[in-house]
Amino acid sequence: MSLFRQLEPDQGGAGDAERGSPLAERMRPRSLDDVVGQEHLLGSGAPLRAQIESGRLQSMILWGPPGCGKTTLGRLIAGRGKADFVPFSAVLSGIKEIKEVMTHAARARRGGRRTIVFIDEVHRFNKAQQDAFLPFVEQGSITLIGATTENPSFEVIAPLLSRARVYRLNALTNEQIVLLLRRALADADRGLGDQPVEISGDLLERIAIFSSGDARAAYNILEAAVAGASADASGPLTVTSDLLERTLQRKTLLYDKAGEEHYNLISALHKSVRNSDPDASLYWLARMIESGEDPLYLARRMVRMASEDVGLADPQALRVALDAMQAFEFLGPPEGHLALAEAALYLAIAPKSNALYTAYGEVSRDLEQTRAEPVPLHLRNAVTSLMKAEGYGRGYQYAHDFEDKVTDMECLPDSLRARRYYHPTDQGLEARIRQRMEEISRLKAKSKK
């Protein structure tokens, strides 16, 4: 059977869904006007809508979270114009299938027919598979529409990305999810409207919150809840609060430990700590833990925060972070999560200084940009007579032999003489450290006289 089929306009690539299909599949929009959300792309005069209605389709990547309408939109775009439509699954298709379809598409183009290739989960194609599409996209043999939940910058090869427009789709709002659920309850043809269902607006809102902007998840929850509802002989199926909670069970948070959401969340945690926001810090930490992040990864990141953002303004922060990591290793989850929460709150509340981080960065730049000079002779140990004869240790001043335990001896190489890297702030303990450094400077100046 051919992989190709011709779509009639506005059929969305599916035709009428069978009653046995999941509710989410049956309720797919049949036209652009039925789509809920994505007004920035599909509203009047919006860029993607203008391109679709003009019929001058370019290859594109639809990027957005699960259940926001990427697959639906891809099918609707393909169905707007008469073209051969090839749906690809990045999970099931390989190089052989790609080459077969591309060869057929090239022949169809010579015969005056367009081919639209829709790739669901395009990020799952490896580099070689993506490369196989490249010449055909470049020649115009196919119009490629890819859908992905991952940042295309990381997951789609640069040559293919440069030949396609990227459109960012947003997660649906709670209000939009509730609207879709009400449509499903009212639609007797494709939805649940062939039987009376009683469910309160508060429970629909609860489903919307639980689904986190994922329409597919919301439809699945509603369908499961209605399937589990009971009714009197003449009454409607009633979805109660208890029934819905049993249906919901545990919320699954959108997360990918190797994808963009991982980096977004750890960035939010780090920046909340840096901004001394304990509530936000605790929220993002818990969000990552409950999403399945490795708690020891979070512990390691907080050790870094202790040095990078707190530093010597509160040296105890590093100890707290290390203790939290050790406590989690000792206790494990879920008890160990509290130790991590304690560390996150401590770091957020602690006085902040990046003076240590900045100082180390300046040292690193000097190491990169200046000559690696030998250690000054007076700082070397003369462990043999030859070394002593060569001047090792000559001129060294033993600080404990001096009243103030400070000398004016230069300890940096000559090319970096008097270079100052560490500039303590006036935050926390660093205020006292700064006073001490000012005192050291005065004592060194005094010893020079």
83-124 tens-digit pLDDT? 677 777 666 666 777 777 777 777 777 766 777 888 888 888
Domain spans of the chain? 5-168, 174-248, 260-349, 376-448
Sign of the C-alpha dihedral, residues 176, 182, 185, 188? Answer: negative
| 174-248: in CATH 1.10.8.60 | yes
Task: Report the alpha-carbon distance of residue 128 to residue 86 in Å, rounded.
Answer: 20
Q: What angle do CA 399, 403, 407 make, to 5 degrees?
A: 40
Token digits for 215? 């329409």
Q: Which residues are 126's β-sheet partners? A: none
CB 90 within 8 A of CB 124: yes
CATH of 5-168, one of 3.40.50.300, 3.30.70.20, 3.40.190.10, 3.40.718.10: 3.40.50.300
pLDDT, position 233:
63
User: What is the reported pLDDT for 336?
Assistant: 92
Name residue 102's beta-bridge partners. Answer: none
Cα angle 313, 315, 321 (rounded to 5 degrees) comes to: 120
Return the CATH number of the domain spanning residue range 260-349: 1.20.272.10
Tell me the sheet residues that pair with 165.
60
- pLDDT score, position 99: 73
- Report the amino acid identity of residue 84: D
Q: Give pLDDT, residue 8.
A: 44
**CA pair distance 384, 323, nearest whole angstrom:** 44
- For the domain made up of 376-448, give the CATH fold: post-AAA+ oligomerization domain-like (1.10.3710)
The pairing of strands 84-89 and 5-6 is antiparallel
Same fold flag, 260-349 and 376-448: no
Q: Which of 22, 141, 6, 160 is nearest to 84 (CA)?
A: 6
pLDDT, averaged in runs of 10, over the chain (449 residues): 45 51 89 88 86 81 89 80 70 69 74 78 82 80 85 86 89 92 91 88 89 89 87 77 81 62 90 95 92 89 96 95 94 92 96 94 90 89 89 91 87 88 91 90 79
Give strand pairing partners of 62: 147, 167
- Token pair for residue 177? 């999810």
| SS3 per-residue string spanning the chain | CCCCEECCCCCCCCCCCCCCCCHHHHCCCCCHHHCCCCHHHHCCCCHHHHHHHHCCCCCEEEECCCCCCHHHHHHHHHHHCCCEEEEEECCCCCHHHHHHHHHHHHHHHHCCCCEEEEEECHHHCCHHHHHHHHHHHHHCCCEEEEEECCCHHHHCCHHHHHCCEEEECCCCCHHHHHHHHHHHHHCCCCCCCCCCEECCHHHHHHHHHHHCCCHHHHHHHHHHHHHCCECCCCCCEECCHHHHHHHHCCCCCCCCCCCHHHHHHHHHHHHHHHCCCHHHHHHHHHHHHHCCCCHHHHHHHHHHHHHHHHHHHCCHHHHHHHHHHHHHHHHCCCHHHHHHHHHHHHHHHCCCCCHHHHHHHHHHHHHHHCCCCCCCHHHCCCCCHHHHHCCCCCCCCCHHHCCCCCCCCCCCCHHHCCCCCCCCCCCCHHHHHHHHHHHHHHHHHHHHC
Between CA 176 and CA 184, with CA 178 as vertex, the angle to 5 degrees is 110
Task: Give the separation between CA 371 and CA 192, rounded to whole angstroms.
Answer: 76
Residue of 397, 377, 402 lying closest to 387 (CA atoms): 377
Give the angle subtended at the CA of 57 by the CAs of 52 and 61, to the nearest 5°: 95
User: What's the gap between Cα 147 and its chain centre?
Assistant: 17
